């Protein structure tokens, strides 16, 4: 089920919460912004970059490319000097774990999302595609969902 799949994403935070009996708090756990190598940074245009440099070599490389000490204050101050687009263009030239945080209209146009057929069109209606890719039994959407009441006569409602 979708609930089961989404729940599995809590494996790290869920395990800690089950062990400690405490709810995880934003910015207080390794994968929620506690460390400078795994968090969001605000840019000059009030948009964000996601930094996910868990491995030390990615963190070191990011610091080298940016020419700053790898700490939260230095990164916060630096990213605030330019726009998200500026940083994305600059950093995408390097093998780094940094990506822009997109709004939905940008996600819907993203080349990767489109290449994975995660946005599709059925009967001239754009909609989310099928996220699970099975080679022998690929999913497909044959038609749109019925309109409200469209099949009432078949159900004798």
Q: What is the pLDDT at residue 49?
A: 96
Chain segment 85-101, per-residue pLDDT in tens: 999 999 999 999 999 99
CA 14 to chain centre: 19
Chain segment 106-154, per-residue pLDDT in tens: 999 999 999 999 888 888 888 888 888 889 998 888 777 788 988 888 8
Phi-psi region of 27 (alpha: psi -120 to 50; beta: other; left: phi over 0): left
Let me know: does 14 contact 21? Beta carbons within 8 Å. Answer: no
Q: What is the pLDDT at residue 13?
A: 80
- Rounded to 5°, angle at Cα 46 from 41 and 47: 60
Let me know: does 107 contact 96? Beta carbons within 8 Å. Answer: no
More confident residue, 43 or 153: 43
Q: What is the pLDDT at residue 157?
A: 59
């Amino acid at each position: 089920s979708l609930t089961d799949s989404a729940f599995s994403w809590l494996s790290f935070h869920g395990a800690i919460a089950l062990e400690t009996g405490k709810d995880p708090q934003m910015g207080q756990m390794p994968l929620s912004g506690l460390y400078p190598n795994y968090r969001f940074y605000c840019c000059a245009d009030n948009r964000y970059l996601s930094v996910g440099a868990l491995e030390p070599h990615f963190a070191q490389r990011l610091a080298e490319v940016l020419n700053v000490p790898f700490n939260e204050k230095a990164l916060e101050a630096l990213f605030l000097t330019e726009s998200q687009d500026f940083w994305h263009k600059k950093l995408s030239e390097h093998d780094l774990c940094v990506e822009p945080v997109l709004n939905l209209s940008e996600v819907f146009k993203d080349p990767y999302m489109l290449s994975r057929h995660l946005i599709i069109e059925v009967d001239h209606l754009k909609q989310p595609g099928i996220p699970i890719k099975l080679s022998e039994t690929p999913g497909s959407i044959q038609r749109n969902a019925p309109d409200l009441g469209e099949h009432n006569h078949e159900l004798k409602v």
